[in-house]
Structure 1
Amino acid sequence: MKASRRKPGTTWHPDEVFVTLRGEPYLLWRAVDQHGAELDILLQKHRDKAAAKRFFERVLAACSEAPRKIVTDQLRSYRAAKAEIPALACVKHVFVKASARVNNRAENSHQPTRERERRMRGFRDPERTQAFLSSFGPIRQHFALKRHLLRASLYRKQLATRIADWHRFTEITQVPPVF
């Protein structure tokens, strides 16, 4: 399924949000591109330079090339981590005012996670949460069509195509082993 995704955009919007797992606060780091496509997520305990660096390295590994621009809130960890990674050293870094919620691409990308968290009555295990959210984002994006921009007939046609693709993807993983 990852192979069928389009190439990531040239502008990245990383952001972090607190998630509570069994009463303990964790940070869910998420990066989206300018189209709103989720690049990667990472669940960590800390909000320091090492955590930001680990997240940037993970996103760089998931994407084939570095962005031209990174848009972040004013968390100092981003700047410090970016300076230590050679691939991101020459990337333009735009800071937005954190209180104004101007980084809407990243802020809005947390909404499906919050909704899923409510439906599941909270996340419990960090490893399972990381695995679930890493899978949930691409699957949700696969079926998310911009319905307000499509005629009903075109929407139905595109949805049928996406469902057929999904059956193709899952058919590969559901082949029973032959002994």
Structure 2
Amino acid sequence: MRTAKDPLYRRHRFPPEVISYAVWLYFRFPLSLRMVEEMLAARGIGVTYETVRQWGRKFGKPFSDRIRQRAPARGDKWHLDEVVISIAGEQHWLWRAVDQNGFVLDVLIQRRRDARCAAAHEEALEIRRHAAARYDHG
């Protein structure tokens, strides 16, 4: 993300590559600070979770912005899928809304299946889709 000559990295004990890797791990994947600490320790880098937290506060904004920019665009067509599943011996209905690219837009689990539930789920998706389109196009 940034070069070693960047003044932002001055006066840090670790090289910019280590800092960038730790911050990228934390923001890119659903990892806790302690998990990032363990992953770095597995590579022979002794960093505490508190250090990772401080790096995240200082360097995290550009990383999170860049990760969000790379997120795939949501499709304008979507499909609602319904599956019966068993949870603790009881029948439940799993509803998934998926766009044409396979991106999961929403997931809903219900104990009962009726038209009112499906319509409410579909209406919520339409509201989200229209709101997203409004923010995407200005």
TM-score between the two structures when normalised by the length of structure 2: 0.41
Name which one, 1 or 2, has greater alpha-carbon Rg: 2
- Higher-RCO chain (CA-CA 8 Å, sequence separation at least 6): 1
TM-score between the two structures when normalised by the length of structure 1: 0.32
